[in-house]
């Protein structure tokens, strides 16, 4: 069994906020795997590559590494540089969803993610953690919220949407991304059969964390 709390779910469902706070409460490391796909997209955009056709050779030129910060969260660096703000743009989000459809990219990043398997429990967040990356994860959660609520949350996040974007534009962009993420043939976004589903539409973050910790305690 992998020492992992897998948290999967669609875009803007609150997974990152939840995963981060949960890791803090349990005093364990947190890894955001969406950032890997975002970093590949960003590097490809910067290199002027066709995002729909990335090959292994290009991927191997990228030096992707996670370094723990002072709170123990793993921060992704590309060629030695932290990327946070550059990763959180609408262009990179759309690009990440596109590169995530390619088998070359997924195979390559699978290795990077599985390198985290070890003796210490970790929180890993993404789309296919409980289904593909760690199908034997010790705990699995699938976090959702209604499309309207997710669009509202995304609009409230600085920099993640285009300047002046409206709620309906953001909802359309999220719907397109959900469709691409859940309909791709390889490792599509879907709950693992043994994942606990949590609808966060009407729950605040503390209530979600309580539910997850309660579930973890019950299964021990
Ligand atoms: O969680 P996020 O919005 O940062 O993820 C960006 C994209 O990366 C998402 O649209 C699909 C892809 N992704 C994936 O395919 N598998 C993962 N484990 C994480 C992200």
- C-beta 181 within 6 A of ligand 1: yes
- C-beta 11 within 6 A of ligand 1: yes
Arithmetic mean of pLDDT, 86-109: 96
Q: What is the pLDDT of residue 89?
A: 92
Q: Which of 10, 43, 127, 191 is the best mutation target for the ligand 1 pocket, counting ligand atoms within 8 Å of the beta carbon and taking the most?
A: 127
- C-beta 101 within 6 A of ligand 1: no
In the reported structure, the alpha carbon of residue 114 is separated from the centroid of ligand 1 by a whole-number distance in angstroms of 16
Question: Do the Cβ atoms of 32 and 148 come closer than 8 Å?
Answer: no
The answer to whether residue 106 scores a pLDDT higher than 90 is: yes
Tokens of 77: 């660096």
Reported as a single tens digit per residue, the pLDDT across 33-63 is: 999 999 999 999 999 999 999 999 999 999 9
The three-state secondary structure class of 131 is: helix
Backbone angles phi, psi at 10, to 5 degrees: -70, 170
Domains, the chain = 2-215 (3.40.50.300)
DSSP state letter for 115: T
Arithmetic mean of pLDDT, 177-205: 96
Q: What is the pLDDT of residue 115?
A: 92
Between the alpha carbon of residue 21 and those of residues 3, 60, 69, the distances in Å are: 18, 33, 15
Arithmetic mean of pLDDT, 186-209: 96
Reported as a single tens digit per residue, the pLDDT across 118-163 is: 899 999 999 999 999 999 999 999 999 999 999 999 999 877 888 8
Question: Do the Cβ atoms of 215 and 196 come closer than 8 Å?
Answer: yes
The answer to whether residue 81 scores a pLDDT higher than 80 is: yes
In the reported structure, the alpha carbon of residue 188 is separated from the centroid of ligand 1 by a whole-number distance in angstroms of 10
């Amino acid at each position: 069994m992998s020492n992992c709390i897998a948290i999967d779910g669609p875009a803007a469902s609150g997974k990152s906020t939840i995963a981060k706070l949960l890791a803090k409460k349990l005093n364990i490391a947190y890894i955001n795997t969406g950032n890997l796909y975002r970093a590949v997209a960003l590097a490809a955009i910067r290199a002027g590559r066709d995002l729909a056709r990335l090959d292994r050779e290009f991927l191997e030129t990228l030096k992707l590494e996670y370094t723990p910060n002072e709170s123990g969260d793993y921060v992704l660096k590309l060629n030695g540089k932290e990327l946070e703000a550059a990763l959180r743009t609408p262009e990179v989000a759309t690009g990440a969803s596109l590169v995530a459809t390619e088998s070359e990219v997924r195979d390559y990043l699978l290795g990077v993610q599985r390198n985290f398997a070890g003796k210490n429990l970790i929180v890993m967040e993404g789309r296919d953690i409980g289904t593909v990356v760690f199908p034997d994860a010790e705990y699995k959660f699938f976090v959702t919220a209604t499309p309207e609520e997710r669009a509202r949350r995304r609009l409230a996040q600085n920099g993640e949407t285009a300047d002046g974007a409206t709620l309906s534009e953001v909802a359309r962009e999220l719907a397109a991304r959900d469709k691409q993420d859940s309909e791709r043939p390889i490792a599509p976004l879907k709950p693992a059969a043994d994942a606990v589903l949590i609808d966060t539409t009407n729950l605040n973050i503390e209530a979600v964390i309580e539910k997850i910790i309660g579930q973890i305690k019950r299964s021990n």
